[in-house]
């Protein structure tokens, strides 16, 4: 197995029971592992809700570090749809030609920058700046603001060796509060101002609700995008032939993006809270207990994907669940797909090969499962095409 591979730790449990067990801060989680069951539970929002206590559907639970409800992610229908409608169009802007052109300039510049260096640490010097600079486009605010976010490191709620970090979270909350104040004093065309003007059922969003959307925008697309970008670099370093293939067959770029996102599954799983006594895979689930929908496991389900553990760049049918499933499908998916598409294009245009010097893997521990999700750090050199 190549070193850039992400092994599937769930296979045996998925085949045997279809379930896994985690004790997360004394609030256990029953992991749902099969593609079919994950989709079914995602659909049953009345039985498995998202609108529980803020932070509780995230695994590891964030109930101890935040009170603000993330919107629309921690709401159920019908409120979910009403709030989602406020931001849906905004999050589709990455499809606009001008947005894509601006993103291409950012990514090209970054690649030129790393090509000029002898050695690069991908997570901190490539993926994090890429994610943060791209976020200025999504928020429609000045490019320079990215420097502040880069200084926060890869995860806003976690720090090295610590699953949850309340002090770090406070930096984000204070920052968002300040930004909201500025947008109130000086409204513009940025996401804060758009949210402050928005209405649901004829009523303006409260400050807490605006904050809830902004926290989600910052937190949800951070380590996930960073993992997707870092894993892509590691993958192309180990598979120079794939870079050559994409250069020669640019028409498969869209499929390749979906396949890498399936294979990487940057977010392992997402929780739900049972509203009644029920069962999953013939296993009893008590009211008010937690389950998780394991996207990473579903993506390797051999009853759905042929050769699930291989990256098949032009995979035809690819109903992967990396962006979730059902009405909660990831709001940032359009933005992420554009980042990945442009990244692959720019790499094929500018980079001949990538050499890895050393890497430190990021292994998540979920009960009996250890899952590699990406890297803490990875030192490489980029070699130019020209």
Among 8, 24, 62, 209, binds ligand EMZ (CB under 6 A): 62
Please state whether the peptide bond connecting residue 7 to the residue before it is cis, i.e. omega within 30 degrees of 0: no
- C-alpha distances (whole Å) from 191 to each of 57, 156, 197 are 25, 19, 10
Question: Nearest-CA neighbor of 263 among 113, 379, 374?
Answer: 374
Determine if 325 is a binding residue for ligand EMZ (CB under 6 A). no
Q: Are 73 and 220 in contact (CB under 8 A)?
A: yes
CB of 365 to ligand EMZ, least distance (A): 17
| 251 contact partners, CB below 8 Å, separation of at least 6 | none
Determine if 296 is a binding residue for ligand EMZ (CB under 6 A). no
- Name the segment binding ligand EMZ (CB under 6 A); options: 28-36, 138-146, 186-194, 213-221: 213-221
CB of 18 to ligand EMZ, least distance (A): 23
- Name the segment binding ligand EMZ (CB under 6 A); options: 25-33, 219-227, 343-351, 375-383: 219-227
| Cβ distance to ligand EMZ smaller for residue 216 or 285 | 216
Determine if 74 is a binding residue for ligand EMZ (CB under 6 A). no
**SS3 (DSSP) at 365:** strand
Segment 244 to 273, residues that bind ligand EMZ, using CB under 6 A: 267
CB of 171 to ligand EMZ, least distance (A): 14
| Cβ distance to ligand EMZ smaller for residue 32 or 219 | 219
**SS3 (DSSP) at 328:** helix
120 beta partners:
380
CB of 79 to ligand EMZ, least distance (A): 18
Determine if 294 is a binding residue for ligand EMZ (CB under 6 A). no
Q: Which residue is nearest to ligand EMZ (CB)?
A: 220
Q: Are 57 and 289 in contact (CB under 8 A)?
A: no
| Cβ distance to ligand EMZ smaller for residue 158 or 352 | 158
Segment 338 to 377, residues that bind ligand EMZ, using CB under 6 A: none
Axis crossing angle, helix 333-350 with helix 128-139, rounded to the nearest 10: 130
Tell me which DSSP letter residue 162 carries: B
CB of 63 to ligand EMZ, least distance (A): 11
Determine if 219 is a binding residue for ligand EMZ (CB under 6 A). yes
DSSP 168-197: HHHHHHHHHHHHHHHHHHS--SSHHHHHHH
CB of 194 to ligand EMZ, least distance (A): 19
Q: Are 119 and 379 in contact (CB under 8 A)?
A: yes
- Distance of alpha carbon 106 from its chain centroid, rounded? 20
Among 22, 31, 58, 313, binds ligand EMZ (CB under 6 A): 58
DSSP 273-284: EESSSEEETTEE
Compute how many residues bind ligand EMZ; rule: CB under 6 A.
Answer: 10
21 beta partners:
30
| Cβ distance to ligand EMZ smaller for residue 257 or 267 | 267
| Gap between the Cα atoms of 164 and 175, Å rounded | 19
CB of 261 to ligand EMZ, least distance (A): 14
Determine if 60 is a binding residue for ligand EMZ (CB under 6 A). no
CB of 253 to ligand EMZ, least distance (A): 25
In degrees, to the nearest 5, what angle opens at C-alpha 273 toward C-alphas 46 and 56? 135
| Cβ distance to ligand EMZ smaller for residue 53 or 314 | 53
- Name the segment binding ligand EMZ (CB under 6 A); options: 112-120, 218-226, 299-307, 371-379: 218-226
**SS3 (DSSP) at 114:** helix
**SS3 (DSSP) at 49:** strand
Determine if 72 is a binding residue for ligand EMZ (CB under 6 A). no
Residues forming contacts to ligand EMZ in the complex (CB under 6 A) are 58, 62, 70, 73, 157, 216, 219-220, 223, 267
């Amino acid at each position: 197995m190549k070193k850039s591979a992400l092994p599937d730790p769930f296979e045996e449990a998925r085949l045997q029971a279809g379930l896994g067990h985690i004790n997360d801060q004394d609030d256990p989680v029953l992991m749902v592992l099969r593609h079919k069951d994950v989709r079914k539970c995602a659909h049953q929002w009345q039985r498995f809700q998202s609108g529980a206590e803020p932070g509780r559907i995230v695994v590891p639970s964030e109930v101890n570090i935040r009170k603000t409800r993330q919107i629309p992610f921690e709401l159920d229908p019908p409120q979910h749809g009403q709030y989602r409608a406020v931001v849906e169009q905004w999050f589709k802007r990455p499809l606009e030609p001008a947005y894509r052109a601006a993103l291409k300039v950012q990514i090209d510049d970054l690649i030129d920058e790393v090509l000029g260096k002898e050695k690069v640490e991908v997570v901190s010097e490539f993926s994090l700046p890429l994610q943060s600079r791209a976020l200025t486009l999504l928020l429609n605010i000045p490019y320079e603001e990215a420097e502040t976010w880069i200084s926060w490191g890869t995860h806003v709620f976690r720090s090295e060796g610590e699953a949850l970090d309340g002090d770090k979270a406070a930096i984000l909350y204070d920052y968002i509060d300040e930004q909201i104040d500025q947008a109130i004093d000086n409204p513009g065309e940025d996401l804060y101002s758009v949210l402050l003007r928005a209405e649901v059922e004829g009523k303006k969003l409260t400050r807490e609700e605006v904050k809830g959307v902004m926290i989600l925008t910052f937190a949800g697309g951070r380590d996930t995008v960073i993992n997707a970008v870092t894993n892509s670099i590691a993958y192309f370093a180990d598979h120079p032939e794939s870079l050559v293939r994409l250069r020669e067959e640019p028409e498969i770029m869209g499929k390749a993006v979906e396949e890498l996102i399936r294979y990487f599954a940057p977010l392992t799983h997402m929780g739900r809270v049972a509203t009644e006594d029920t069962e999953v895979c013939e296993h009893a689930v008590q009211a008010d207990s937690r389950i998780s929908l394991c996207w990473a496991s579903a993506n390797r389900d051999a009853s759905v994907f042929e050769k699930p553990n291989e990256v098949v760049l032009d995979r035809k049918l690819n109903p992967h669940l990396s962006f979730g499933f059902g009405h909660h499908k990831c709001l940032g998916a359009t933005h992420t797909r554009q980042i990945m598409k442009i990244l692959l294009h720019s790499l094929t245009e500018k980079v001949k090969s990538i050499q890895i010097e050393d890497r430190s893997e990021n292994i998540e521990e979920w009960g009996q499962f250890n899952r590699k999700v990406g890297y803490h750090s990875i030192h490489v050199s980029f070699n130019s095409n020209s």
